[in-house]
Amino acid sequence: MRERAALPDWTGRRVLVVGDLILDHFVRGSVRRISPEAPVPVVEVEDEHLALGGAANVANNIKALGGTPLLVGVVGRDRAGEDFRQLLRFAGLETSGLLEAAGRRTSLKTRVIAHHQQVVRVDREVRDPVGASTAAALRRLLAERAAACDAVVASDYAKGLFSPGLLRHLGATCADAGVPYVVDPKPVHFPYPGATVVTPNRGEAAGLYGRAFSTGEAEAVGRALLQRTDWRAVLFTLGDEGMFLCPRRGKAVRIAAQVREVFDVTGAGDTVVAALALGLAAGASLERSSRIANAAAGVVVGKVGTAVCTPRELARALRAGG
């Protein structure tokens, strides 16, 4: 119990996660030769497995941390969609929030990894907007579930789920329910009205702002984004430079990275929004929740593949970081 003392009590806190669903396919092996057909490595496959990606990885992280996720998203009527549902059940996540869209492909990302390094990624997906009937069903689900939750996460991978209309509806729904609303964004869907906090990485932040910027400019960029939106805060995730929290009210805060050794950054952003949303759902401040999210990200990048962080690992990381 002492190991969990540093964490807010988010047991039983319900977080609605809405976003693009991705099936991650990992192929691992070793390289001992170069192909005679082209100057590329030949990967001799030793293992392969499927994992929950995109918004489902956010939900999986919330469950691993001790919260209760409610996942809403769209899959295709295909083998990948069936595999996705099976993985959700295996992880103990409910499938009632999954909408099946006929004629739409489930997003599938195949990563080929050799000696802990990604050799190539193959994407099979459709990024066209979801149909009108699916969008209407999404609105109904969000309206029903947001009021029963303690926080909401929008996990945007720009795969066709979100539209300006749906995002306006989601922001208004969260405002009506009075719950924190965390957004993992893509610049194409700026400005995410009604967001409590938006968590762009360096590339996404440059897209939102209009140009690349140095870490020393982060506060000025954050203030500029807040002037153009109704967000309560922006949290830049800056890789090995940590995070930078810029709230609408109060001082900006630089949070140092908490990473000992990086093996794989896959899904780290999902872990950030999961921990951040749980912290806010439990009543922690934006700064405290951001520090928790930073520590959780430091844990998962030290693992290979789409990974999660446990409460014990998170508590230890928080103690180690002071």
Query: Which residues are part of the catalytic machinery?
Result: 270
Contacts of 321 (CB under 8 A, 6+ apart): 256, 258, 291, 294, 295, 298
Q: Could you tell me the two tokens for 207?
A: 């897209």
Q: Could you tell me the two tokens for 111?
A: 């990563």
Q: What is the DSSP letter of 296?
A: H
Separation between Cα atoms, residue 235 and residue 250, nearest integer Å: 14
Q: Could you tell me the two tokens for 144?
A: 């029903």
Amino acid of residue 305: G
Tell me which H or E stretch contains 70: strand 68-76
> E-assigned strands of 137-280?
151-155, 181-184, 197-198, 233-237, 243-247, 253-255
Separation between Cα atoms, residue 190 and residue 206, nearest integer Å: 12
Q: Does residue 255 contact residue 169 with C-beta atoms inside 8 Å?
A: no
What is the CA 198 to chain-centroid distance, rounded?
11
Alpha carbon separation from 225 to 169, 188, 234, 277 (Å, rounded) = 21, 15, 8, 21
Separation between Cα atoms, residue 39 and residue 295, nearest integer Å: 40
Sign of CA dihedral 109, 67, 302, 196: positive
Q: Which residue has the tokens 């910027």?
A: 213
Separation between Cα atoms, residue 234 and residue 213, nearest integer Å: 15
